[in-house]
């Protein structure tokens, strides 16, 4: 079996399904190039007796022709099968051919499931019929439906109100690699970078395995980014537009939201997104936000002390942030573009925000480092709205059930950070503003998060209660929720 990095929880679930004695219907979704097909195809290789991957933007007739051809090769010893007039006939043929395979536990794997649903094809209705009248009664069969179009999968499969309502027995929402998994992945390919370099790469690529596969031994993070993103033959040179068009039918509206959020790193409310993105105020915008959130491009946050209606949306997809900030305006293909850009004040400012986003994605690792992984917490951001705060904001607020709050200050810095007198005063003012405006009586702990930590001096003494470094972000963890 090819090496599968990380994915420990997913592999445990797949083992449970493989060992189950009942029919199972597994739905798997997650953004493009995240490794869904690789995981399923390789980890379940001994069980998959039939696999078909939907083809984007082809006619129903051609999709059926390709499906029947796959049936011929995989389940009928290569003997040509008659054409099927519709999907009902195609799934009836699949059911007949499966009978001789069901003496042992087997799987049917339908990849890029959303692409098989072409207009007026009745594909979904035919699949519902296949599951409800045949597959559900086969204790040795499990069916896997997989797709990159997370919004479509949620609306049409997970929340299906028709024949698939409550039929999904298991679900995997595949997430990007964590920093720990990214390091393991790079090391497995003999790419040995220190953790500061890994974080730089992560802030540009995110934890997307297919992007990280562009890394080569002996190159720095800057050189890897240069080659993949800023040369015309680079793997990621045209990825941004292709990415959204492949996931969403109405990609232009999704991109309006992405661009609006990119221009406002602090995030926007729903009404602000509608205004800036020039979108309709009805439920369609809610659906767009949900689709982007489900696919992992944006993240909704409820500011500390606020309610759901005050939700702020932030663009948190690393590659989208990186593309819109640096790649879009520098598509000349000129050698050395990124090596020049990565030494500018713009990059230094942007890297601070990108590191903050990375830390927010690794909250379970931070909790583990703080020794509070077993305590229920709520994470949020906070911004002062009063003069007492002077426009102060807290990068990350970890509100704990043990009557304590960690106020986290996040800094991206190559060396150990030195807290001077002016910065120490600003930190004290932030804490005071937070305490006064929120009227909290909980114990406040100022927590400093940076790559290399800070230098202890008279300014930090009695001010910073805990410090976390890059090493703490690399603690393996399971995604919450």
Kindly state whether residues 300 and 337 are assigned to the same domain: no
217 with 254, same domain: the answer is no
Total domains present in the chain: 4
Long-range contacts of 75-79 (CB under 8 A, 24+ apart): 75/49, 75/50, 75/101
Range of the domain at 337: 179-237+331-354
- With b for 16 or more beta-carbon neighbours within 10 A and e for fewer, the 142-161 pattern comes to bbbbbbbbbbbbbbbbeebe
Report mean pLDDT in 10-residue bins for the chain, 481 residues. 87 96 95 94 97 94 97 95 97 96 97 93 96 97 93 87 90 94 96 96 96 96 95 93 84 94 93 92 86 91 89 95 95 87 89 94 95 94 69 90 96 88 93 94 96 88 92 81 46
**In sequence order, what are the beta bridge partners of 146?**
28
Residues 126 and 43 both lie in one domain: yes
pLDDT at 155: 86
Pair (201, 165) in one structural domain: no
Q: Which of 323, 344, 374 is the last residue of a domain?
A: 323
1 located within any domain: no
In whole angstroms, give the CA distance from residue 36 to residue 40: 6
Instruction: Identify whether residues 166 and 36 lie together within a single domain.
Output: yes
Among left, alpha and beta (phi > 0; psi -120 to 50; other), residue 172 is beta
Tell me: do 265 and 153 sit in the same domain: no
3 state DSSP class of 392: coil
Name the token pair of 440. 């909290």
CATH of the domain at 294: 1.10.10.10
Domain boundary among 173, 198, 219: 173
Residues 51 and 74 in one domain: yes
Same domain, 340 and 460: no
The closest of 58, 134, 123 to 88, measured between CA atoms, is 123
Contacts 24+ apart (CB under 8 A), 42-48: 42/1, 42/2, 42/4, 43/1, 43/4, 43/11, 43/14, 44/14, 44/18, 44/107, 44/109, 44/144, 45/1, 47/18, 47/105, 47/106, 47/107, 47/142, 48/106, 48/107, 48/108, 48/109
What does the pLDDT read at residue 273? 95
Q: How far apart are the first and last CA of the chain?
A: 29
- Domain membership flag for residue 44: yes
Q: Could you tell me if residue 17 is inside a domain? A: yes
Q: In this structure, are 281 and 315 located in the same domain?
A: yes
Report whether 388 contacts 432 (CB < 8 A). Answer: yes
Q: Give the closest residue to 126 by CA, choosing from 154, 98, 93.
A: 93
Same domain, 202 and 97: no
Residue 3 forms part of a structural domain: no
Q: Work out the burial of residue 114: count CB atoms within 10 Å of its CB; fewer than 13 is exposed, 13-18 middle, 19 or more buried.
A: buried
In a domain, 480, yes or no: no
Phi and psi, residue 398, nearest 5°: -110, 100
What does the CA dihedral 106, 111, 114, 115 come to, rounded to 10 degrees?
-130
The pLDDT of residue 391 is: 67
In a domain, 346, yes or no: yes
Q: Read off the CATH number of the domain in which 391 is found.
A: 3.40.1350.10
Q: Is the dihedral of CA 429, 432, 435, 441 positive or negative?
A: positive
The residues facing 111 across adjacent strands are: 53
Handedness of CA 114, 119, 124, 130 (dihedral sign): negative
Length of the chain: 481
Residue 478 belongs to some domain of the structure? no
Are 382 and 260 found together in one domain? no
Question: Do 341 and 210 fall into the same domain?
Answer: yes
Q: How far apart are CA 199 and CA 459, in angstroms?
A: 28
The reply to whether 298 falls in a domain is yes
pTM: 0.91
The pLDDT, as a whole number, for residue 271 is 93
DSSP string covering 42-97: HHTTTTEEEEEE--TT--HHHHHHHHHHHHHHHHSTTPPPPP-SSHHHHHHHHHHH
């Amino acid at each position: 079996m090819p090496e599968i990095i990380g994915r420990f929880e997913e592999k445990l679930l797949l083992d449970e399904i493989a060992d189950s004695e009942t029919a199972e219907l597994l739905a798997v979704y997650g953004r493009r190039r995240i490794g869904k097909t690789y995981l399923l195809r390789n980890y379940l290789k001994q069980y998959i007796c039939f696999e078909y991957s939907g083809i984007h933007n082809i006619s129903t007739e051609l999709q059926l022709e390709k499906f029947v051809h796959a049936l011929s090769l995989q389940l009928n010893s290569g003997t040509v099968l008659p054409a099927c007039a519709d999907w009902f006939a195609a799934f009836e043929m699949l059911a007949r051919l499966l009978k001789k395979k069901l003496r042992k536990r087997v799987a049917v794997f339908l990849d890029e499931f959303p692409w098989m649903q072409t207009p007026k094809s009745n594909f979904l209705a035919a699949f519902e019929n296949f599951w409800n009248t045949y597959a559900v009664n086969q204790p040795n069969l499990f069916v896997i439906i997989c797709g990159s179009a997370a919004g479509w999968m949620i609306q049409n499969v997970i929340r299906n109100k028709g024949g698939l309502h409550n039929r999904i027995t298991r679900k995997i929402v595949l997430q990007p690699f964590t920093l720990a998994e990214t390091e393991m992945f790079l090391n497995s390919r003999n790419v040995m970078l220190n953790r500061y370099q890994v974080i730089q790469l992560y802030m540009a690529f995110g934890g997307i395995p297919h992007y990280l596969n562009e890394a080569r031994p002996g190159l720095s993070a800057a050189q890897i980014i240069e080659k993949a993103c800023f040369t015309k033959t680079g793997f990621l040179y045209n990825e941004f537009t292709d990415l959204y068009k492949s996931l969403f039918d109405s990609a232009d509206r999704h991109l309006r939201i992405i661009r609006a959020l990119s221009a406002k790193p602090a995030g926007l409310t729903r009404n602000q997104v509608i205004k800036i993105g020039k979108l309709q105020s009805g439920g369609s915008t809610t659906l767009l936000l949900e689709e982007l959130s489900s696919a992992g491009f944006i993240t909704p946050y409820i500011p500390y002390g606020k309610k759901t209606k005050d939700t702020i949306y932030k663009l948190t997809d690393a590659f989208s942030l990186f593309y819109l900030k640096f790649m879009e305006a520098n598509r000349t293909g000129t050698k050395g573009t990124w090596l020049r850009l990565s030494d500018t004040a713009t990059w230094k400012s942007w890297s601070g925000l990108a590191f903050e986003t990375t830390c927010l994605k690794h909250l379970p690792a931070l909790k583990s480092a703080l020794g509070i992984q077993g305590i229920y917490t709520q994470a949020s951001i906070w911004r002062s709205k009063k003069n007492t705060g002077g426009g102060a904001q807290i990068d990350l607020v970890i509100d704990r059930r043990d009557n304590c709050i960690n106020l986290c200050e996040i800094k991206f810095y190559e060396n150990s950070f030195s807290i001077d007198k002016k910065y120490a005063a600003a930190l004290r003012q932030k804490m005071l503003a937070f305490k006064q405006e929120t009227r909290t009586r909980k114990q406040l702990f100022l927590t400093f998060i940076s790559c290399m930590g800070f230098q202890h001096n008279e300014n930090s003494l009695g001010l910073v209660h805990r410090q976390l470094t890059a090493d703490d972000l690399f603690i393996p963890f399971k995604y919450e929720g």
